[in-house]
Amino acid sequence: MEKRKLKFFCLLIVLLGYFFSSEKVLADNAGLSVDTSLIMLRTEPGKDLQFSFNIKNQTAVEQVVHLEEKDILIGNENELTFVDVTQGPSSWVAFEQNDFVLKPGQLQVVKADIKFPKNEKISNAQMMTMVSFAPEDSSVPQGPKVSGNIGVYLILSSSDAQNAAGKVEKLAYLKFVDKTADVSVVYANGGNVQFVPQSKLSIANPFTTERREISFENHFVFPGKKVTFTKNLSGLSVFGFYEIRYSFKDGNGQLLEKTGYVVGKLFPILLLIALLVFGIFIKKLIKIRKENSKT
């Protein structure tokens, strides 16, 4: 009986291993992939542009691919909105091929030209290349079909647009914290070209040598827009007292620093006890001096 249970247990492990390994292969091979999600180009008067990116079929079947350029607006917090505009910037983009078929594992270079209208001056334009894909019906007679969309941002800015100034508009953090705390900084782009600010946060305890530097996640900030940078601080003490310094460097290289302070939620109690002990010590010291002066 024990041998039979052991054989069944081993067989179960083998089947589970095969199942999960098969699932992993399906997940790794699902969909199409591109080698970039963002293309940034500088425009010059009277000069057309070209751009390209690679696309690969990660599935085990042939995929029919369709390319389409769409106009977009990027707002605060990098919120994306598709805009239906006649003769918008997306109409300037022409692909070598809008429709093609990719074989399993095939890699293809997507090429496109941007032809600007005469006397058109570009300060900033935002578009997205939509890559739609679906399998050939004949190639997948049975089973699930993998299809979907991939977006590649295309951002145009004038070669004259060199102002990448930014500023910190708002700091938000709790004054009294537990062992963890959330901090956030609202950062605004006051220039005319998008950039990724170099940002970090340092936290230090003035009473000790403890100091840590933490980087915020990288985010593009577009002209005239705002993005909130957030970070969760961990490893704090409920009895601690901390200085928090925010550092942001904009696209012009200008460094802006802001400083704030947070305390552990039990720090006031610790401070009160320390003051009481200090008061008792001073009281006793005064009493001792008075007794000594009498003698």
Higher-pLDDT residue of 33, 124: 33
pLDDT number for residue 295: 65
pLDDT number for residue 137: 65
pLDDT number for residue 245: 87
Per-residue pLDDT, averaged over 41-55, amounts to 90
Q: Would you kindly state where each structural domain of the chain is located, as residue ranges?
A: 32-158, 166-264
Q: Above pLDDT 70, what percent of the chain?
A: 85
Please choose, from the candidates 40, 62, 49, 124, the residue with its C-alpha nearest in 3D space to the C-alpha of residue 93.
49
Whole-angstrom distance, CA of residue 257 vs CA of residue 271: 29
Please choose, from the candidates 121, 111, 103, 120, the residue with its C-alpha nearest in 3D space to the C-alpha of residue 65.
103
Q: Confidence class of residue 123 from pLDDT cuts 50, 70 and 90?
A: confident
pLDDT number for residue 68: 94
Please choose, from the candidates 185, 177, 182, the residue with its C-alpha nearest in 3D space to the C-alpha of residue 232.
182
Q: What is the mean pLDDT of the chain?
A: 81
E strands of the chain, at which residues? 32-34, 38-43, 49-57, 63-74, 80-83, 93-95, 99-102, 107-114, 124-135, 148-158, 166-173, 176-177, 181-189, 198-204, 211-215, 226-233, 241-249, 255-264
Per-residue pLDDT, averaged over 119-126, amounts to 80
pLDDT number for residue 232: 86
- Tens of pLDDT, residues 230-249: 888 888 888 888 888 889 99
Residues 6+ apart with CB under 8 A from 23: none
For tokens 């970090």, the residue is 200
- Tens of pLDDT, residues 7-41: 433 433 333 333 333 333 323 335 799 999 999 99
CATH class of 32-158: mainly beta
- Tens of pLDDT, residues 90-104: 999 999 999 999 999
Fold of 166-264: Immunoglobulin-like (2.60.40)
- Tens of pLDDT, residues 173-230: 777 878 888 888 899 999 888 889 999 988 888 877 788 898 888 899 998 899 999 8
Contact 39, 76 (CB under 8 A): no
pTM comes to 0.69
pLDDT number for residue 138: 53
pLDDT number for residue 29: 36
pLDDT number for residue 259: 84
Q: H or E stretch including 254?
A: none
Higher-pLDDT residue of 292, 294: 292
Contact 148, 85 (CB under 8 A): no
Domains 32-158 and 166-264 in one fold:
yes
- Tens of pLDDT, residues 125-150: 899 999 998 987 655 455 556 678 89
Per this entry, what is the length of the chain?
Answer: 295
